Amino acid sequence: MAKTIYIAGLGLIGASMALGIKRDHPDYEILGYNRSQTSRDIALERGMIDRATDDFASFAPLADVIILTLPIKQTIAFLQELATLELKEGVIISDAGSTKSAIVVTAENCFADKPVRFVGAHPMAGSHKTGAASVDVNLFENAYYIFTPSSLTSPDTLEEMKDLLSGLHARFIEIDAEEHDRVTSQISHFPHILASGLMEQTASYAEEHEMARRFAAGGFRDMTRIAESEPGMWTSILLSNRETIVERIEDFRGRLDEIGQAISKGDENQIWNFFNQAREQRQAMEIHKRGGVDSSFDLYVDVPDEEDVILRILELLRGTSLVNIHINEENREDVHGILQISFKNAQDLKRAEQVITENTNYTVVIK
């Protein structure tokens, strides 16, 4: 049965979601809300949505499913507005906010006595690009799409949402909203604070020690990359997850005190254990496994600084799926000094090692 889906917020996430829904459900009608006309026009012209409005309330009563793909604050405001409207009985409301507790609590309060189903969600996808013009039907491919079920979420709510979003090719997973916020505070929110803090400290230090700008290399680049994220979004995230993040900050201060004291005392064992434990922990992490971010099926090729050298190697690997390819000849302080190619499995890796070794005189290393 064809449904009517209402997507509020036609930014990169909302627009890409609309396309993903249409991929598996071309018969569904998709309604779109956006404040600015530009994204509305683009979404209409490119067929991402069927009808558009700048009056959020107007389309809400028509929808079988309402998905708010908006900043956290506005998501909360729209949930409150939805509670005042006459919606379809059994409507499913969902969202796409980066923190979940504040949003889920709002929804639980707003819809407690109403014939409304709700499930909080956090699609872990994004891009440096924004707006409907950057739409990408593959944006969510293989990304985690996290649901945070609560008392307004019945099992059929999740089934219907997963069916609706099947065209996104995302990895659906369920977790408690508060636990989601705790986990993301540790692996995302707090690291953003560290990155921005390190960047500010270095900029301030570089005012009197200008070589700091010049010598900053691979490690520093990696550690500060996320300091370039959009400040408004991250301010909202911090504000909607305050206690948990402050607790992570306090915990980390204690860790800095400890290693600082070990350095002051010159306690070689303690410092070595600090570094060694961290190394072992990272090596043991999911991050190294297939399906995680890094891959274990990595091959390193020492390549000369010659034209078309990467092309030559890729020609040898024609037909083999590459998960990742990376080279950086600018700085050899770290592993980026050589061509790193990641494969989907051990067979591809083995085959690649063989074909490169047989056809070139480059050194090939498997880590």
User: Minimum distance from CB of 77 to a copy of itself (Å)?
Assistant: 16
Residue number, 91 or 237, with CB nearest to a copy of itself: 237
Residue number, 62 or 238, with CB nearest to a copy of itself: 238
Residue number, 163 or 315, with CB nearest to a copy of itself: 315
The sign of the dihedral angle between the CA atoms of 101, 102, 103, 105 is: positive
User: Minimum distance from CB of 172 to a copy of itself (Å)?
Assistant: 13
User: Minimum distance from CB of 154 to a copy of itself (Å)?
Assistant: 23
User: Minimum distance from CB of 27 to a copy of itself (Å)?
Assistant: 25
User: Minimum distance from CB of 30 to a copy of itself (Å)?
Assistant: 21
Residue number, 53 or 130, with CB nearest to a copy of itself: 130
Question: What residues pair up with 119 in beta bridges, in sequence order?
Answer: 94
With H, G, I as helix, E, B as strand and everything else as coil, classify residue 99.
coil
User: Minimum distance from CB of 103 to a copy of itself (Å)?
Assistant: 17
With H, G, I as helix, E, B as strand and everything else as coil, classify residue 342.
strand
With H, G, I as helix, E, B as strand and everything else as coil, classify residue 317.
coil
Residue number, 151 or 252, with CB nearest to a copy of itself: 252
Compute, in degrees rounded to 10, the torsion defined by CA atoms 57, 60, 66, 71. Answer: 0
Looking at this protein, which amino acid is placed at residue 89?
A: E
Rg (CA), the chain: 24
Q: How far apart are CA 210 and CA 226, in angstroms?
A: 23
Contact by Cβ (8 Å): 174, 148 = yes
Residue number, 66 or 103, with CB nearest to a copy of itself: 103
Could you tell me the end-to-end alpha-carbon distance of the chain, in angstroms, rounded to an integer?
Answer: 52
